[in-house]
């Protein structure tokens, strides 16, 4: 087995008296899609927010490319090459696609923006992901459909050669065709050598796209398993707590 | 944040699925000739991005209306005269400036109700410091102290809004009340201080020489042309398409036509006595310079871009690594300092500072921004829009004043226009938002 790109061990997080994460372990590999599943309140979002540096963990270690790292701000996470695409799409409606993709990391020529360069890089990134649904990169995001927005959000995450892309419920609000498109996009991301962590409630999607499945149950990682070695029924069992997993960790 | 040039991520060459498929062309909205661009513009307007269009329309209607009413009701043209035109510009200058100041915080979805009284405190400090039979300070350091007073108040507001997290409405309402007290204490009860600095009075009461107006126009055209060409060079270097060059000429043509008309009218002697009064009022190039610098900052620097981003979706901006607190804080400082500049214009026009200075103007400033198409919800609007909105409000006050109508009518009409403008804004939002839910 290769070295994991990122390895979380013994992650703790609590909000006041509520222990949301009780010593969680997780690994993700470059070029692989790692799914994170679990019922509402299992702690998935909290785990992700810690990785993004938005809401730092209380305890535990994070090793990235073999080194121990501390994630306290979005900037630190982004600097390492960790990008998160949130469920409630973190895009600004009043800005256009290029402006959104470069938000927080604009290219400048001197003190002022180099809009031409940003526009080219944005177009090329969208093209490299085979995005065909967007008419113009200078469209305002408010004029895009749900699938197009998800596409822009994902393209934004890979713009700066991200090593780890985390997708929080990327298909939750999408129709059948758009879900298919986004899942293909996820696969292409991994094929480009990116480590992808995908959070989803939809097991059908998970089995279609993921290489590994990790199940979170009430703040504890109860199963880490290769997709090929398990079945949908088993995973449902782990999620609801009606089955326990005792195999070797993936 | 990397500044080194990086190749965008490209797929491995063996991966044929990720090569651009036919029909996979992603445009930039820059392609096509003048007609395509015009069509795209109409499309944008119809989808709700109207910008200052309603305000410009309103301005034209109001000018026609007052010209007509002056002929019909007064039997003589008082409104559409060279003298009134110059007068209108100097009357509007302070409001234009205040509206532009407020844009910086309104874009964030915030408000600064204390912008007017901030200028009151700063100008009070100024008149007390420069009083010939008092401190008798030179006007330049006194002006700097006045601007620093604005900076201090802006820092204070920014601390409570951005750092502590109190709604700006509450913080600035508190300051609106409190700072009037500071002004009162500085000036003493019933105190009216005359401005006696010739340089300050000159801003609103003296004019550029006639040739100065034409030089100003030439500079505007040159700068505009230079920036367009610089943008095109950068885009060409990056290998992305440019808009057709005809649009640059069109823009310069419009500036030359409008600017030429304005400077031309202001170059005519508008005096009714033997003393010649001609030329562009000095305040005009000052306002234009601040408008240009402010627009430059908002459009082309991180500070400006992040103001729009925070106004659009503050959480998204934060997650993108934008220092939301710092940007918010800085925006309030910019607003307060520019508000002091507005106060300087106002003091120069009126010629004095009293305890009520700046109390009335702030809501007109907010109204001006909204009338011009700046959204109070944040994220949408430009400095130019606020300036045009301020001109609309100034034209209403000026036109109704000339018609000798009771003062009450002015308030009623201004209020009506504000609600009308807000309605246009809301309707355009619904139309723009309608496409949000289309999948």
Is pLDDT above 90 for B294? yes
CA distance between the termini of chain A: 9
Q: Which A residues 13-32 touch B at CB under 8 Å? A: none
Q: Quickly list H helices, A19-145.
A: 44-52, 74-80, 97-101, 115-128
Instruction: Please name the residue of chain A whose CA is at the shortest distance from the CA of residue B108.
Output: A94
Q: Which chain A residues are within 8 Å of B241, Cβ to Cβ? A: none
- B39 interface with A at CB cutoff 8 Å: no
Supply the pTM of this predicted model.
0.87
Q: DSSP letters of B178-231?
A: HHHHHHHHHH-TT-EEE---HHHHHHHH-B--HHHHHHHHHHHHHHHHHHHHHH
Which residues of A are less than 8 Å from B47 in CB distance? 143
* pLDDT band for position B334 (cuts 50, 70, 90): very high
Mean pLDDT across chain B:
87
Which sign, positive or negative, has the C-alpha torsion B430, B431, B433, B437? positive
Rounded to 5 degrees, what are φ and ψ at A35? Answer: -95, 145
CB contact under 8 A, B2 and A160: yes
How distant is the Cα of B375 from the closest Cα of chain A, in angstroms? 11
Q: Which pLDDT belongs to residue B431?
A: 65
- Chain A positions touching B2 (Cβ under 8 A) are 105, 160
Rg over CA atoms, chain B: 24
Contacts of B283 (CB under 8 A, 6+ apart): B89, B90, B93, B203, B204, B345, B348
Q: Is the CB of B43 inside 8 Å of chain A's CB atoms?
A: no
Q: If you average pLDDT over residues B258-278, what whole number do you get?
A: 92
Place of tokens 């100034």: B394
Task: Report whether pLDDT(B241) > 90.
Answer: no
How far apart are alpha carbons B378 and B331 in whole angstroms? 13
What is the ipTM for the molecules in this complex? 0.84
CB distance A143–B47 less than 8 Å? yes
High-pLDDT (> 70) share of chain A, %: 97
d(CA B93, CA B98): 9
Q: What are A34-71's pLDDT values in tens digits?
A: 999 988 888 888 898 898 888 889 988 999 998 999 88
The residue of chain A nearest to residue B6, with distances taken between CA atoms, is A160
More confident residue, B345 or B28: B345
Using a 10 angstrom Cβ sphere, with 0-12 exposed, 13-18 middle and 19 or more buried, the burial of residue B69 is middle
Strands A67-69 and A59-64: antiparallel
Full set of structural domains in chain B with CATH: 59-206+281-428 (1.10.3470), 208-275 (no CATH)
Structure tokens at A3: 């070295």
Please tell me if residue B49 touches chain A, with a CB cutoff of 8 Å: yes
Under an 8 A CB cutoff, do B11 and A134 touch?
no
Q: Which residues contact B67 (CB under 8 A, 6 or more apart)?
A: B77, B79, B80
DSSP string, B33-77: -HHHHHHHHHHHHHTT--TTHHHHHHHHHHHHHHHHHHHHHHSS-
Q: Which of residues 206-235 of A touch B (CB under 8 A)?
A: none
A/B interface, count of CB pairs below 8 Å? 174
For residue A32, which phi and psi values (nearest 5 degrees)?
Answer: -120, 150
A134-138, B19-23, B336-340: which has the minimum mean pLDDT?
B19-23
The pLDDT score that the predictor gives to residue B162 is: 95
DSSP letter at B273? S
Residue B326 buriedness (CB in 10 A; 0-12 / 13-18 / 19+): middle
Sign of CA dihedral A207, A213, A217, A219: negative
Question: How many Å apart are CA B217 and CA B221, to the nearest integer?
Answer: 6
Question: What confidence category does residue B139 fall into, taking pLDDT thresholds of 50, 70 and 90?
Answer: very high
Q: What is the mean pLDDT of residues A134-153?
A: 84
Top mean-pLDDT range of A36-45, A135-144, A145-154, B160-169 = B160-169
**Mean pLDDT, to the nearest integer, of B355-360?**
90
Q: Write down the pLDDT at residue B49.
A: 74
Q: Kindly identify which residue of chain B lies nearest to residue A124, measuring between CA atoms.
A: B8
d(CA B108, CA B323): 13
- Of A86-90, A165-169, B245-249, B261-265, the poorest mean pLDDT is in A86-90
DSSP H or E run through A195: strand A195-199
Distance from C-alpha of B89 to C-alpha of B203, rounded to nearest angstrom: 12
Contacts of B313 in chain A (CB under 8 A): 90-93
Edge-to-edge strand ranges of the sheet holding A18-28: A18-28, A6-15, A59-64, A67-69
**Chain A, nearest residue to B233 by Cα:** A116
Question: pLDDT band at residue B421, thresholds of 50, 70 and 90?
Answer: confident
How far A216 CA sits from the closest chain B CA (Å)?
24
CB contacts of A89 in chain B (<8 Å) are 316
Question: Crossing angle for the helix pair B246-266 and B82-106, nearest 10 degrees?
Answer: 130
Q: The tokens of B162 are what?
A: 């951005």
């Amino acid at each position: 087995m290769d070295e994991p790109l990122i390895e979380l061990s013994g992650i703790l997080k609590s909000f006041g008296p509520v222990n949301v994460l009780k010593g969680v372990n997780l690994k993700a590999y470059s070029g692989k899609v790692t799914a994170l599943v679990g019922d509402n309140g299992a702690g998935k979002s909290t785990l992700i927010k810690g990785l993004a540096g938005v809401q730092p963990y209380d305890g535990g270690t994070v090793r990235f490319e073999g080194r121990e790292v501390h994630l306290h701000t979005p900037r630190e996470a982004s600097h390492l090459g960790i990008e998160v695409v949130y469920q409630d799409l973190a895009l600004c409606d009043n800005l256009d696609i290029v402006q959104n993709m470069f938000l927080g990391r604009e290219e400048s020529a001197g003190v002022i923006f180099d809009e031409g360069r940003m526009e080219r890089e944005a177009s090329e990134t969208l093209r490299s992901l085979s995005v065909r649904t967007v008419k113009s990169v200078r469209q305002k995001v408010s004029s895009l459909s749900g699938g197009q927005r998800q596409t822009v959000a994902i393209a934004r995450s890979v713009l700066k050669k991200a090593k780890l892309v985390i997708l929080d419920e990327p298909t939750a609000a999408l129709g059948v065709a758009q879900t298919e498109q986004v899942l293909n996009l996820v696969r292409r991301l991994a094929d480009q050598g990116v480590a992808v962590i995908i959070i989803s409630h939809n097991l059908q999607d998970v089995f279609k796209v993921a290489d590994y499945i990790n199940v979170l149950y009430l703040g504890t990682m109860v199963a880490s398993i290769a997709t090929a070695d398990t079945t949908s029924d088993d995973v449902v069992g782990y999620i609801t707590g009606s089955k326990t997993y005792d195999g070797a960790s993936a | 944040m990397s500044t080194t040039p990086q190749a965008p991520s490209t797929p491995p060459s063996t991966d044929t699925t990720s090569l651009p498929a036919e029909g996979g062309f992603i445009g930039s909205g820059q392609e096509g000739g003048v007609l395509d661009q015009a069509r795209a513009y109409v499309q944008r307007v119809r989808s709700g991005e109207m910008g200052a269009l309603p305000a410009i329309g309103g301005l034209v209607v109001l000018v026609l209306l007052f010209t007509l009413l002056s002929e019909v009701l007064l039997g003589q043209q008082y409104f559409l005269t060279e003298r009134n035109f110059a007068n209108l510009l100097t009357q509007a200058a302070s409001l234009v400036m205040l509206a532009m100041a407020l844009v910086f915080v309104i874009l964030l979805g915030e408000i600064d109700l204390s912008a007017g009284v901030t200028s009151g405190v700063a100008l009070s400090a100024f008149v007390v410091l420069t009083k010939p039979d008092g401190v008798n300070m030179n006007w330049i350091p006194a002006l700097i102290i006045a601007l620093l007073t604005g900076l201090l108040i802006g820092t204070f507001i920014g601390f409570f809004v951005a750092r502590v997290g109190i709604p700006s409405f509450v913080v600035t309402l508190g300051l609106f009340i409190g700072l009037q007290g500071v002004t009162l204490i500085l000036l003493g009860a019933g105190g009216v201080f005359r401005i006696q600095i010739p340089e300050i009075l000159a801003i609103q009461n003296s004019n550029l020489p006639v040739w100065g107006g034409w030089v100003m126009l030439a500079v505007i055209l040159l700068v505009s042309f230079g920036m367009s060409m610089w943008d095109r060079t950068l885009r060409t270097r990056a290998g992305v398409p440019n808009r057709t060059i005809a649009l640059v000429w069109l823009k310069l043509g419009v500036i030359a036509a409008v600017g030429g008309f304005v400077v031309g009218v202001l170059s005519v002697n508008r005096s009714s006595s033997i003393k010649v009064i001609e030329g562009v009022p000095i305040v005009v190039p000052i306002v234009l310079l601040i408008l240009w610098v402010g627009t430059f900052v908002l459009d082309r620097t991180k500070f400006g871009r992040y103001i729009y981003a925070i106004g659009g979706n503050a959480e998204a901006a934060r997650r993108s690594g934008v220092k939301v607190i710092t940007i918010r804080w800085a925006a309030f400082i910019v607003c307060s300092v520019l508000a002091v500049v507005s106060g300087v214009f106002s003091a120069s026009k009126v010629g004095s500072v009293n305890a009520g200075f700046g109390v009335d103007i702030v809501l007109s400033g907010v109204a001006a921004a909204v009338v011009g198409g700046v959204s109070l919800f944040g994220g949408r609007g430009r400095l130019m829009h606020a300036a045009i909105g301020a001109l609309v409000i100034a034209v209403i006050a000026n036109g109704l004043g000339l018609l000798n109508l009771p003062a009450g009518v002015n308030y009623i009409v201004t209020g009506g226009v504000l609600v009308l403008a807000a309605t246009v804004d809301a309707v355009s939002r619904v139309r723009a938002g309608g496409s949000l839910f289309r999948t």
